[in-house]
Amino acid sequence: MKLPIVVVHGGATVFEKKHHDAILKAVKEAAEKGMCAFEKGGSALDAVEAAIWVLEETNLFTAGLGASKNLDGAIELDALIMDGNRLESGAVMAVRDIVHPISLARYVLERTSNSQIVGSGANKLYEQMLAEGYREGTSSKRTEGPFIAQNCDTVGAIAIDETGRIASAASTSGWPGKLPGRVGDSPIVGAGVYANDIAGASCTGKGEQILRITMGRMAVFHVEQGLSVQQAAETVMSELRQKTSGEAGLILADKLGNLAIQFDTPHMPVAVLSSDMEYVYCSMTPVWSIDQD
């Protein structure tokens, strides 16, 4: 695929058929917003942040406005954004009831000397971010369910700019009814998300299982070792199944724009946009790839 590219997913899960159209529209819009960021001269980080922001702004996913509650009835969100070339990331974990944790994660990356901020510290930083005008607050209001996905549908994205610089990201409220303070894989570097100057990955599935095999990092590592993105994605998916009995999904792309989409749940909505193709996908078919060579 011709660079730049933006790939967006809306979680490895099961969605009722009646919601498929709305979900596909959302992932497509998210990819378009990401591409728009590139067209305006933005970076890969701008593109993934813009794409995730769109998905957080809908109530279709267990992220942002659609977040689900923990065991105490509170909303706690996790997000991570990573710049592959700088090998730097920003993450927030168990931040309370904000709509766009991805922008706060970006703020952590760009405006602090830390990479992971949790709980009340993250909420305090959110107020600081708004006061500084780094990002605007949203007027969107949360509405109560009904939840569209079975279990959880974390959102994720990868963007690669014209020069091959990669950014990847994820945003989620995690597993519905989770223990207060529980943090999954999504905001953990190398587990839910990873990017370097070779490839980038964004994973989705049960965090407790993804963490055990550091799935994002391993997927990228296999590409560094010479596997194609498709082989690397298949390898980590099979390792997850064998070692943890987990079901999951991931998007994996390298700096040339080769892309693999892999999942073993019934659904994982995906939108792919590049300067030479557009693809929107939500299907029972578990394997899909685009290889340059």
The residues annotated as belonging to the active site are 154
Least Cα distance to 74 among 91, 90, 98, 53 occurs for 98
Please identify, using beta-carbon distances, which residue of 165 and 217 lies nearer to ligand ASP: 217
CB of 277 to ligand ASP, least distance (A): 26
| 290 φ, ψ (degrees, to nearest 5) | -125, 115
Residues 233 and 258: their CA atoms lie apart, in Å, by 12
Please identify, using beta-carbon distances, which residue of 165 and 178 lies nearer to ligand ASP: 178
Residue 207 CA neighbour count, 13 Å, CB half:
24
CB of 101 to ligand ASP, least distance (A): 12
149 DSSP assignment: B
Which parts of 30-143 are beta strand (E)? 76-83, 88-96, 116-118
CB of 236 to ligand ASP, least distance (A): 14
Based on DSSP, count helices (H) and strands (E) in the chain, helices before strands.
7, 13
CB of 206 to ligand ASP, least distance (A): 6
According to DSSP, the residues that pair with 157 across neighbouring strands are 8, 169
3-state secondary structure of 237: helix
Residues 264 and 247: their CA atoms lie apart, in Å, by 6
Please identify, using beta-carbon distances, which residue of 153 and 161 lies nearer to ligand ASP: 153
Please identify, using beta-carbon distances, which residue of 49 and 185 lies nearer to ligand ASP: 185
Contact 95, 105 (CB under 8 A): no
**N-to-C CA span, the chain:** 10
Burial of 149 (0-12, 13-18, 19+ CB in 10 A): buried
Question: How many residues does this entry show for the chain?
Answer: 293
Residues that bind ligand ASP (CB under 6 A): 11, 152-154, 172, 174-175, 184-186, 192, 204-207, 210
Please identify, using beta-carbon distances, which residue of 13 and 258 lies nearer to ligand ASP: 13
Least Cα distance to 149 among 40, 261, 29, 9 occurs for 9
Residues 12 and 102: their CA atoms lie apart, in Å, by 19
Please identify, using beta-carbon distances, which residue of 246 and 257 lies nearer to ligand ASP: 246
CB of 273 to ligand ASP, least distance (A): 22
CB of 122 to ligand ASP, least distance (A): 16
